[in-house]
Structure 1
Amino acid sequence: MKFRNVFLKWAVGGLIILLVAAGGWLGCTQYSLNQQSRQLAHVQGELRSAKRAIRYQAMVSRLREDTIRQFEKNHGNQDKLVAVSKNPAVNQLLAALKRRRFVGTALVVKNGRTIYHRGFGYANFAKRRRNTANSAFLINSILKSLTGAMLMQEVGKGKLKVSDKLSKFYPKIKGAQQITLHQMLEMTSGLFETRWPKTVTTENQLLSYVTKHAYFQSQQVGRFNYQPVNFIILAGVLKKVTGQSYYELFNRRIIQKYHLQQTGFLPTLTHIYNGAIGYGGTLNVRNYRKVNHFTAAGITNQLGVGDVYMSTGDLYRIERRLVTGRLTSPALTALQTTPVNSNGIYSGGLYKLRSGIGFYGHGLGNFYEDSLAISNNGQDAVVLLSNYFEARTMKIYSGVPVALQTLDKLVEN
């Protein structure tokens, strides 16, 4: 009897051990299967992401190739050189440009007519190609004004409102529920960005990175702080609302619709005949030894904020349409360019002149400097696009004060 009880206990214990072992084996098997399933899903996700990246890069390449073909097609249809003018505003401008040893192209428009248009220095020193009335330059941050205009086009269609909270589109960004799109247009959102991708990204990858690393300072809401991240995210809002790539939108709504002759996307700037290469140096020396080289990651980080090139003529024509309401409407232009903060002067990519006579825009980077001053009616304007400007050493030679002084004199006369 005693032996029987021991045997039963041993049998039950063995059975329990067997069941536990079997359960453990089944658990391990299930865990392994789950791991394999997750790994498979990850691999499939990576493949889908890679395919999307390939399709995206193919689209961008196609658009860039299209802009090169467009540029070459219109090579004979160019703005004319106007090298002589008796207008005192032009004489004042030329004296200032000479003092600054300006390299680039200058355009002056009075009463809607070009009264001066000429290139200075070299667009490509190695090939001895000089800047002309049709040279193309990186416009840097002036692009923000066109990003703002495309956003306002969606406002006009009723797809969004400038009073919408950022959380409507990007709820995971810290502080998004406190930030309006209008505050982003005028750079008073309290959003900052100090980290940027170091590798080439698609639009989705850049937006994912930027929205993840953007940080929010609530005490800065309502205070102007120039942070390009605002407009990169606004480019993402455009993509969410339209379902289209920023590049596709810009190509269709800006380049093609308004028949811009000398406009396109980086990095084709250095591949076109009239493309001006950026050079850096010191205040008084123009030896063209310090050459800008665009990095692939640096280009893709400029989504909606600085990766477009234009000639002076193209930039004037499209900005004239913007300030006169012909890109959207007069009411929407006023909404885009009027800061929520009554003391502010920046909104929608342009600075409003305190004199009330018009606007100015400024771009800076990669050894290019861009200065635009334009009257409210678009009839008077000064455009200075330079491809020899290193901010660290040449900042006091900025073209903005010169452009503004020239515009003042144009409007006076």
Structure 2
Amino acid sequence: MGTHVWEKPFEAYAQKLIDEVQVPGAIVAVAKDGELIYEKSFGYRDREEQAPIDLDTVFGIGSITKSYTCVAIMQLQEAGKLSIHDPVVKYLPEFRTPDESHTKAITIQHFMTHTLGLPPLSSLFPGMLESMKDDPAAEELLALPELQGLEPIHTYEQLMDYIAKQPIELLGAPGSEFSYSNDAYALLGAIIERASGQPYEDYVKEHILEPLGLTRSVFHIEELGDDLNHSMLYSAVTKDGVKEVLRTPIWWDAPAMRAAGFLKASARDMLRYADVYRTGGSANGVRILSGASVAEMVTPIVKVDALKGYGYGLGIQPFGENATLIQHTGGIKGVTAHLLIVPEAGITGILLTSISDSPIQALTLGLLNSLLGRPLETPYATVDSYEAPLDVLRQSVGTFKSGEGDQVTVKFDEENERLVLAMGGKELPLRPIGEDAYLFTERNVDTSVRFVRSADGTIIRFALGSRQLPVA
């Protein structure tokens, strides 16, 4: 593994971002054609103990778990135990939405592509409640009005009952609207369990982790025993306008939602896992999926926004002129992660950090630009501007809120005659790129947003990145 001319500029760029956001620990690792070509750690796996990070340090990977869940579904399809075009109710007769005909029309593929028609729900919080209630880091979150009086969700059956009771408006017919759904992926775990006869976690271990030799990939950090080579968790709090990063060691868990985002893994394991997509189904000399199934997983089945598509548990977008980026991020308390594959270049990569608000997209952008010989801060893609009428801009203001606790406000800036997105204490100008479609830029990373209208032209939702937030 030699030194590359881009390493020092990239590491300076990365260190600046890491210092700015106060990321306690991170690792970046890249392979080309299956051989490690670059690794770099920043900070410590445990800041207080100054314990170092290496390729075998286990971090949370959050929603990257969703790709493993889709591998399992595709394996079961290959084994003849299900079809992704089967109705979900064939395996989950308890599953209900506000519309019975809608419910019956939802297929497994709709779950895999986040197109089942459900808006973002609050299910994850009662799902994690048991592990959150004893964690001081969760006090502020648990104090939110919408989380009061919730009963813990332990089982798939309880999760389906919770979903059925939510007073929601469906986004559209199955397959018509993309909105990221942890609930759909949680219930893919239930389908895997019922189709295979094994608990979800056991199936993943037996059919994915063990065959690939992923010995440092676990659902529970306790599985590592006395091995302390895993990341500590950190959380950011703001006191009197000053950000402070605190050691918060309790891992959150949601027994009924592990298929949506609760796997932990080392960088070495993640690079080996990424080879499944680079090679078309094999890694470590073992085939776990057919080339046809992998090709389907990495095909953009649905459009997410102006820049991105989504396959099965993976996002797909063009990168530069001649490359495709296959990727997924993950984030939960003490975790931000990014898995990436650029098949045309034979590149696989993983970025793992120990805090939930790390600048993972900007780090990934700098890494990809470095690997592919582009200036460090080149945007993911170039998007043409669009001339939006002033009256349309003025009509687009409002506040939007999801069941997951996200809330944003769109304002009209009279002085500059533009829309501004207010969220997380920041105000970000929105640049029109199409009818009701806009971009905002943060740390050189463009994020696409759009307004969703009803049949009579009224704005009813705001699609922010991958989620649709209803009008508050």
Choose from 225, 231, 234 the match for 1:279.
Answer: 234
2:302 aligned partner: 341
Distance 1:240 1:294, change over 3 A: same
**How far is 1:278 from its partner?**
1.2
Choose from 171, 179, 182 the match for 1:228.
Answer: 182
Choose from 111, 131, 138 the match for 1:184.
Answer: 111
**How far is 1:128 from its partner?**
2.8
1:351 aligned partner: 315
- Given that residues 360 and 374 in structure 1 are in contact (C-alpha distance below 8 angstroms), is that contact kept between their aligned partners in structure 2? yes
**How far is 1:125 from its partner?**
2.8
Q: Deviations over 1:340-396 (max 9, x none)?
A: 335661222211022452301100011211012211268212311001x243xxxxx
2:80 aligned partner: 158
- Given that residues 323 and 378 in structure 1 are in contact (C-alpha distance below 8 angstroms), is that contact kept between their aligned partners in structure 2? no
More RCO (CA 8 Å, sep 6+): 1
- Relative to its length, the structure with more helix (as a share) is 1
Choose from 296, 319, 330 the match for 1:363.
Answer: 330
Instruction: Give distance in 2, aligned partners of 1:341 and 1:116.
Output: 33
Does the alignment pair 1:261 with 2:215?
A: yes
1:26 aligned partner: none
Instruction: Give distance in 1, aligned partners of 2:187 and 2:172.
Output: 20
1:210 aligned partner: 159
Distance 1:357 1:405, change over 3 A: farther
Instruction: Give distance in 1, aligned partners of 2:237 and 2:260.
Output: 27
Instruction: Give distance in 1, aligned partners of 2:278 and 2:71.
Output: 10
**How far is 1:220 from its partner?**
6.0
Does the alignment pair 1:98 with 2:15?
A: yes
- Relative to its length, the structure with more strand (as a share) is 2
Choose from 245, 250, 254 the match for 1:293.
Answer: 250
Q: Deviations over 1:156-192 (max 9, x none)?
A: 1222211111121123323331111111111011135
Does the alignment pair 1:330 with 2:291?
A: yes
Instruction: Give distance in 2, aligned partners of 1:378 and 1:238.
Output: 33
**How far is 1:339 from its partner?**
4.0
- Given that residues 237 and 246 in structure 2 are in contact (C-alpha distance below 8 angstroms), is that contact kept between their aligned partners in structure 1? no
1:194 aligned partner: 122
Instruction: Give distance in 1, aligned partners of 2:344 and 2:223.
Output: 31
- Given that residues 322 and 328 in structure 1 are in contact (C-alpha distance below 8 angstroms), is that contact kept between their aligned partners in structure 2? no
> Where in structure 2 are the equivalents of 1:132-151 lying within 5 Å?
132-151=54-73
Q: SS at the partner of 2:45?
A: strand
2:4 aligned partner: 86
Distance 1:220 1:278, change over 3 A: farther
Q: SS at the partner of 1:158?
A: coil
Q: SS at the partner of 2:86?
A: coil
**Count of aligned pairs between the two proteins:** 319
Choose from 306, 311, 315 the match for 2:266.
Answer: 311
Instruction: Give distance in 2, aligned partners of 1:286 and 1:217.
Output: 38
Instruction: Give distance in 2, aligned partners of 1:377 and 1:324.
Output: 11
Match for 1:349: what amino acid? G
Instruction: Give distance in 2, aligned partners of 1:86 and 1:282.
Output: 37
- Could you list the runs of 5+ residues in structure 1 that have no partner in the other structure? 1-81, 392-396
Q: SS at the partner of 1:130?
A: coil
Q: SS at the partner of 1:281?
A: strand
Instruction: Give distance in 2, aligned partners of 1:205 and 1:365.
Output: 19
Query: Percent identity over the alignment?
Result: 20
Does the alignment pair 1:108 with 2:26?
A: no
**How far is 1:218 from its partner?**
5.3
TM-score by structure 1 length? Answer: 0.70
**How far is 1:315 from its partner?**
0.6
- Given that residues 185 and 259 in structure 2 are in contact (C-alpha distance below 8 angstroms), is that contact kept between their aligned partners in structure 1? yes
Q: Deviations over 1:195-228 (max 9, x none)?
A: 334448xxx9520011112247152632111111
Instruction: Give distance in 2, aligned partners of 1:149 and 1:323.
Output: 14
TM-score by structure 2 length? Answer: 0.61
**How far is 1:92 from its partner?**
4.1
Q: Deviations over 1:271-324 (max 9, x none)?
A: 5321111112379x99753324224xx342432122221111101111211343
- Given that residues 292 and 366 in structure 1 are in contact (C-alpha distance below 8 angstroms), is that contact kept between their aligned partners in structure 2? no
Q: SS at the partner of 2:81?
A: coil
Distance 1:330 1:377, change over 3 A: farther
Match for 2:44: what amino acid? Y
Choose from 364, 378, 386 the match for 1:403.
Answer: 364
Instruction: Give distance in 1, aligned partners of 2:210 and 2:345.
Output: 21
- Given that residues 143 and 304 in structure 1 are in contact (C-alpha distance below 8 angstroms), is that contact kept between their aligned partners in structure 2? yes
Match for 1:289: what amino acid? L
- Given that residues 109 and 381 in structure 1 are in contact (C-alpha distance below 8 angstroms), is that contact kept between their aligned partners in structure 2? yes
Instruction: Give distance in 2, aligned partners of 1:286 and 1:219.
Output: 41
- Kindly report the root-mean-square deviation, in angstroms, between the aligned alpha carbons of the 2 structures: 2.9
Larger Rg, first or second structure (1 or 2): 1
